[in-house]
Amino acid sequence: MSHPGPDAGDRVALACPSCSTTEPTVHEVLKPGGQVTVRCTTCDHVHKEQYDPPREVELDVIVSQDDESLSTTVDAPPADTVAVGDEFVVETPEAIMQARVTSIEVAGDTRVEEATVEDIATLWTRAVDNVRVNVTVHPNDGRRDDSRSVAVSVPGDHEFVVGETATFGDEEFEITGVQVRDDAPEYRFEKLDHDGDSVFAKDTKRVYGRDVTSAAWSAW
């Protein structure tokens, strides 16, 4: 596939004859063309260079959001490595969203944890900029038979903090524990239940809470 050159205002990586002749620095494109006129953002030196954009290949991506899935494609350098847990921006006709890799499919319907772009058949992801999180709310008298499940929609970077009171519409509960998703990075345990423990919504599989709504009413 052919790739157009950069447009004015784009930023590209090029060596700078003034301040960095061996390592590329970030340059701003002033004038596109066969030879682009660029300005080094490190030293402001303006020069002309031949710029060939890196080759990219089209990658099939499935994005799941709540109970729906959509198919799209992204362009990426073939030698780049993708791993489960990586996040990137996906553009679709419906929306631009942040997605996290949940599974990587290569030839023969094989699933792997990591692969180079050129070896990937399909990339399975889920949207993480806005997520729906399931919450189990227990009564404040400890009777689990009367527990209820609710779902809350929040930004992916919303934090659930154990010990804090959360309010969503008519629901109000004290967070007693948070179950972490399998694809979430860098958490101590799969379930956190100590006061002050916090988990981003995009990393949360389920929240457990103690109802405080009825406690507030009982005071009357």
The Cα 9–Cα 217 span in angstroms is 59
Q: What is the pLDDT of residue 219?
A: 40
Q: Are residues 115 and 141 in the same domain?
A: no
Q: Are residues 141 and 186 in the same domain?
A: yes
Q: Using an 8 Å Cβ cutoff, are 104 and 111 in contact?
A: yes
β-bridge partners, 204: 180
Q: Is residue 2 part of a domain?
A: no
Mean pLDDT of the chain: 87
The Cα 37–Cα 46 span in angstroms is 7
How large a percentage of the chain has pLDDT more than 70?
93
Q: Which CATH number do you get for residue 76?
A: 2.40.30
Q: What number of residues does the chain have?
A: 220
Q: Are residues 69 and 35 in the same domain?
A: no
pLDDT band at residue 7 using 50, 70 and 90 as cut-offs = confident
Three-state DSSP state, 94: coil
State yes or no: pLDDT of 112 exceeds 70. Answer: yes
User: What's the average model confidence in pLDDT over 161-179?
Assistant: 94
Outline where DSSP puts E strands in 41-196: 46-50, 57-65, 68-76, 81-83, 87-91, 96-106, 110-112, 114-116, 120-127, 130-138, 148-155, 159-161, 165-168, 171-180, 191-192
The half-sphere exposure of 3 on its side-chain side, counting CA atoms within 13 A, is 13
Query: Where in the sequence is the domain holding 26, given as residue range(s)?
Result: 11-50
The Cα 75–Cα 177 span in angstroms is 40
Q: Is residue 1 part of a domain?
A: no
- Report the 10 Å Cβ neighbour count for 7: 9
